[in-house]
Amino acid sequence: MTAARLDTALTDADATFGFDPEAALVHLRACDPVLARLIDSVGPFRLELQRTSSVFAALAQAIVYQQLNGKAAATIFGRVCGLFRNTSAGLTPGQILRASDERLRSAGLSRSKMLSLQDLARKTKSGELPSLAEIRALDDETIIERLTTVRGVGRWTAEMLLIFRLGRPDVLPVDDFGVRKGFGLAFRKKEMPARKDVEKRAQRWRPYRSVATWYLWRALDPPPKTPAKDE
């Protein structure tokens, strides 16, 4: 199969979780009293899925955003898209492969990210990477295994796609700093918790570790400001 295949766009109507968030909260509250207190503190589950036109477009954006703050990454990604016509539905492999190295670098891409985008484009065009239609039928570990064959795409990047693009319910990005820091705060650890400690506790959260992950991230949010009282 080649890039002539069509990806099925993840439209707003399709951007729904593959699970019932309310059922997830009931499970998490029942299985872990500490997590239940965090849920009560944070409030409703408000994770919003991000729309994408293709697996390629989602990963291309992820590659550009790596190790940059949001504003700088958005600027460079906008410049990359601006190199081509008709990118309103997302970048395509053909656009990247037809562009010269100099043109891609002119958008502000590092050489490493340029090479990653080119590798992503080649592997998408050759059919090595699944389309959105195909990826929905794959289990999480298979998706991670397939996506991490691309230069510059590690497990964390694949896990973010699973959570934020596909709405998978049971993903635990245990190497994410925010997850472990949030775990330490929620469970009152004096030191940064070890990977194995988070994994062990998270066994009770299955099959809704993605929801627990979102709450661990929220544990790092600053508390809301209390309005000043009128004098």
pTM score, whole prediction: 0.87
Q: Is the peptide bond before 169 cis (omega within 30 degrees of 0)?
A: no
Q: Write out the catalytic residue numbers.
A: 176
Q: Any bridge partners for residue 10, and if so which?
A: 52
Contact present, 214 and 179 (Cβ < 8 Å) = no
* Residue 11 scores a pLDDT above 90: no
Residue 141: C-alpha distances to residues 144, 158, 171 (Å): 5, 10, 10
Q: Which of 59-68, 108-117, 199-208, 221-230 has the lowest mean pLDDT?
A: 221-230
Report pLDDT digits (tens) over 123-153. Answer: 999 999 999 889 989 999 999 999 999 999 9
With H, G, I as helix, E, B as strand and everything else as coil, classify residue 10: strand
Q: Any bridge partners for residue 52, and if so which?
A: 10
Q: What is the pLDDT of residue 229?
A: 55
Mean pLDDT of the chain: 89
Q: What is the pLDDT of residue 4?
A: 28
Residue 118: C-alpha distances to residues 65, 141, 150, 175 (Å): 16, 24, 10, 27
**Percent of the chain with pLDDT strictly greater than 70:** 90
Q: What is the pLDDT of residue 15?
A: 55
With bands split at pLDDT 50, 70 and 90, how would you rate the model's confidence at 225?
low
What span, in angstroms and rounded, lies between the C-alpha atoms of 108 and 123?
23
Q: How many CA atoms lie within 13 A of 95 on its CB side?
A: 16
- The total number of residues shown for the chain amounts to 231
Contact present, 195 and 180 (Cβ < 8 Å) = yes
Report pLDDT digits (tens) over 16-42. Answer: 788 999 999 999 999 999 999 999 999
Domains of the chain and any CATH numbers: 21-49+171-218 (1.10.1670.40), 55-165 (1.10.340.30)
With bands split at pLDDT 50, 70 and 90, how would you rate the model's confidence at 86?
confident
With bands split at pLDDT 50, 70 and 90, how would you rate the model's confidence at 85?
confident
Report pLDDT digits (tens) over 93-105. Answer: 999 999 999 999 9
Report pLDDT digits (tens) over 35-78. Answer: 999 999 999 999 999 988 899 999 999 999 998 888 999 999 99
